[in-house]
Structure 1
Amino acid sequence: MTDSERNLDGIRVALTGGTSGLGLALMDELLARGATVAFVARRAQLVASVAATRTKVAGIVGDIAKKDDIYPLALQINGVLGGVDVLVNNASSLGPVPLALLGDTQCEDFEAALATNVLGPFRLTKALLGSLAAAAREHGGAVVLNVSSDAAVEPYPTWGAYGASKAALRQMSRIWNAELVAQRIRMLSLDPGDMDTPLHALAAPGDDPATLKRPADVAHEFADAIASALHELRNAATHGGS
């Protein structure tokens, strides 16, 4: 990619889970490329701390796992950004640790994983779909990035709730991508791999951080994928393609 293709000046991004790990690294990468970001996270003190040290950022407190939070979040996102070109569904939950075999997993814990990892992204995407479609009509394209995992395809013991929820998210992304082609909305599902993040430390406390990917490196790759998709969509729109 050229530098101009990587540039995200004027791009309005909504991102969930932006106070640590990949979410924070990706937000910083997007900001460095010129984007404006509204991020969502649950803990008010962390949200305020992250937002206070960055420009072109709005922090919004909310929990995507809670149905009643979704439309207020969407209203706030649209209010601060004035529209949405890119949505990043990054927030996710492992569930209680240490992770349990499926036969030992409580139904409530399985439901909680689905609420955060599947229903949350579904509801927020649905709530912002009108804004994404409007951006696509005006500028030629919009992008949704759902952060996936290799647990979506590999049957790791004790990762049942998380893996099943990520598999559902992956397939939902594929279906939505097929359905939204005509509206020039691209749905990406990307697996970051094993990273040195708080979430990975909870899941696999024995792993050596030196063997894991750096969130900043993955953030660069994901930002490239977002920029490439936007460039492709908008270039095709300019030249009359589909």
Structure 2
Amino acid sequence: MSVHSDLKGLRAAVTGGTSGLGLALVRALAKRGAQVAFVARTREAVERVSVETGALGIVGDVGRKTDIHAIALQITGNLGGLDLLVNNASSLGPVPLALLADTQCEELEEALATNLVGPFRLTKALFGALTASARQGRDAVVVNITSDTAVNAYAGWGAYGASKAALQHLTAIWAEEAREEGVRFLAIDPGDMDTPLHAQAVPEADRSALKRPEEAAAHIIGALGLDQPRLALTLETRP
């Protein structure tokens, strides 16, 4: 897969594609000529980004089991297959962040549904399309967006960190199992970014000290060109 200015022919899907890193990825991929589908929950935002980028907007919630089949069908039906899936949609769980003792079970369940079970279900639903791509000699890749909270214990980040830790390990296992199928799995930590999610988590943060989502998106697209079947890329060292 080329990671230069011309990505024509690449069929890509991005979840959480209307803000933050997801939006930056949709813009960057579409600008380079890829066929892009993106998923988000809010219809107005989906329509706005679709008009702006020319990408296919899909209204859906990856944290809801009942939405997954329809999302997968729209992705493969409109793109004619799939080469790249970026599981980017994320939930913090409790907002404001809370200690585990103060976290409601439903808040933990929400983080797990969006950050772990949703990516698993969507990847499973699209795995046939990805293996078909690999059989055609294309570079089939699944990118799961993780976090430093997956490996470091930060007070208050329990629901988010536990879900991302599980996602990172799930990625590693799937990379082992999918190697013979020719599908690569990458767990990528983009680091601290100036995004709405980060603002929810750390409202007092100095935005000028945070990475721009566009910069992180460029790093991720660049990482796709690395000739490694397994990759865990850390671009920063804090959640």
Structure-1 separation of matches of 2:83 and 2:3: 16
Task: In structure 1, give the amino acid aligned to 2:56.
Answer: A
* Aligned-partner SS, 1:139: coil
Instruction: Answer yes or no: is the 8 Å Cα contact 1:38–1:58 preserved in 2.
Output: yes
Structure-1 separation of matches of 2:66 and 2:38: 18
Change (3 A) 1:5 1:117: closer
Which residue of 200, 209, 212 maps to 1:211? 209
- Aligned residue in 1 for 2:52: 53
Structure-1 separation of matches of 2:3 and 2:82: 19
Deviations 1:17-61 (A, max 9, x none): 000000000111111222110000000010001101222x10000
Structure-2 separation of matches of 1:134 and 1:76: 17
- Aligned residue in 1 for 2:31: 32
How far the C-alpha of 1:5 sits from its partner, in A, is 4.6
Task: In structure 1, give the amino acid aligned to 2:182.
Answer: R
How far the C-alpha of 1:226 sits from its partner, in A, is 1.9
Task: Please say which structure displays the higher CA radius of gyration.
Answer: 1
- Aligned residue in 2 for 1:145: 143
- TM-score, normalised with respect to structure 1: 0.91
Structure-1 separation of matches of 2:180 and 2:137: 14
Structure-2 separation of matches of 1:5 and 1:19: 22
How many percent identity over aligned positions? 58
Where in structure 2 are the equivalents of 1:1-242 lying within 5 Å? 5-6=3-4, 7-55=6-54, 57-229=55-227
User: Does 208-217 or 5-14 show the bigger shift?
Assistant: 5-14
Deviations 1:185-204 (A, max 9, x none): 00000000000111001100
Unmatched 5+ residue regions in structure 1?
A: 234-242
Instruction: Answer yes or no: is the 8 Å Cα contact 2:94–2:103 preserved in 1.
Output: no
Q: Kindly indicate which of the two structures has a greater share of residues assigned to helix.
A: 1
Task: In structure 1, give the amino acid aligned to 2:70.
Answer: P
How far the C-alpha of 1:227 sits from its partner, in A, is 3.5
- Aligned residue in 2 for 1:239: none
Structure-2 separation of matches of 1:119 and 1:107: 16
Task: In structure 2, give the amino acid aligned to 1:34.
Answer: G
Q: How many residues align?
A: 227
- TM-score, normalised with respect to structure 2: 0.92
* Aligned-partner SS, 1:60: strand
Task: In structure 2, give the amino acid aligned to 1:116.
Answer: T
Unmatched 5+ residue regions in structure 2?
A: 230-239
* Aligned-partner SS, 2:192: coil
- Aligned residue in 1 for 2:235: none
